[in-house]
Amino acid sequence: MRTKIFPSTTTLTFPISSGMTVAVSEFSSKIFATNVFGQLYIFNRKVVNLGSAKPPRISIQHVLPDRQLPLGGEFTTMAMIDCSRTAPKAYAKVSGQLIVMNTDTGEVTKTLPYPGLEFWRPRFSVDGSKVYVPFSNSIKVFSANNDTELAPIDVGAYFKNLLLSPDGKRLIAMGDHVAAIIETATGKVVSEHRTSFGDGWVSCISSDGKKVYIPTISDDGRSYIAVVDSSNLKEVGQIAGGGGGFMGDLFGGVASSPHHPFAVACDNHLMLIIDSRTDQVVDAISMSGGVELMDVAIDKYLVSYVNASDKFVAARFYG
């Protein structure tokens, strides 16, 4: 049965200077958005019944910290976040530090001692027991139970994004024209690959774990989404875009639904709905918030949230 596509219904538009990432806590009914100035925005969400065309109600809770940091370079200030699916917990890079947060209350429960270091978006393991954080030439591993550091994974390259397979057995690390497949049970790097696509920092893995979607740009300036076999990281297809996204002609964020065979991609002012079984675009929805859509997240109620260039937009697309 084909998923019903609703007209785009904007629930909330909220100003965010230079938005960076967005994440949804399914456990706590919260939405988190970040910007390049080290800030974390926390939104409350009232859940609606699946299948209802009525969008949820979204309201701002608070901003952490309440003042923007001076822009201190590519790595120092950019705020990023990931939420656990199994507990009310998030790991985030905020104000240049790695923090642990209770997503029910929005309280920072711990600040880990890595201020100012070059690290990118944390990722929770599928079972919620570990958190992986890409640092320079290694992947830091933390126990999500007591927030202590475990043995790192030495990868020998600088990675910007981490993807977990749906079964939790593989970790795919994406970097600048380099990628690695890691066995999560042992922390062993089982294969390394040179890639033809970019750094993959906004890539996502399909709900069946077989494919990775990576927004990229060809040598002749054509923007597209590379469809990559997750077992060997070879490009097996391409999904063309319509209008380019951030950085001129490149796509913005992509995300896959963990519950359904769909992915969404930001393409200029459009949100593309992709059937991951066929890699076909089945709908293109015009978005409020203008161009340069940076990041998108999907929760189990099939409500998508977009972090645009200077706005946070929450909208109902399909259900």
Task: Give the model confidence (pLDDT) of 53-105 as tens digits.
Answer: 454 556 666 676 555 555 444 445 677 889 998 999 999 887 667 889 898 88
pLDDT at 61: 67
Do residues 34 and 19 lie in contact, with contact meaning Cβ atoms separated by under 8 Å? yes
Task: Give the model confidence (pLDDT) of 122-131 as tens digits.
Answer: 899 999 999 9
Burial 225-237 (b: 16+ CB within 10 A, else e): bbbbebeebeeee
Look at residue 4 and tell me whether its pLDDT is greater than 50. no
Look at residue 50 and tell me whether its pLDDT is greater than 80. no
Place of tokens 């690695």: 180
List the domain boundaries for the chain. 206-293
Do residues 128 and 90 lie in contact, with contact meaning Cβ atoms separated by under 8 Å? no
Close Cβ partners of 243 (under 8 Å, ≥ 6 residues apart): 267, 268, 269, 270
Q: Report the sign of the C-alpha dihedral through residues 153, 158, 162, 167, in that order.
A: negative
pLDDT at 171: 93
Half-sphere exposure in the Cβ direction for 107 (13 Å, CA): 5
Is-cis flag, bond preceding 261, omega within 30? no
Place of tokens 């992986």: 132
pTM for the full model? 0.82
Q: Rounded mean pLDDT of 175-198? A: 84
pLDDT at 185: 92
pLDDT at 267: 67
pLDDT band at 304 (very low <50, low <70, confident <90, very high): low
**Is beta strand 40-46 parallel, antiparallel or unpaired with respect to 57-64?**
antiparallel
For the chain, percent of residues with pLDDT exceeding 90: 18
pLDDT band at 242 (very low <50, low <70, confident <90, very high): low
Q: Report the sign of the C-alpha dihedral through residues 223, 274, 176, 92, in that order.
A: positive
pLDDT at 151: 92
| Burial (CB count <10 Å: 0-12, 13-18, 19+), residue 153 | buried
pLDDT at 159: 82
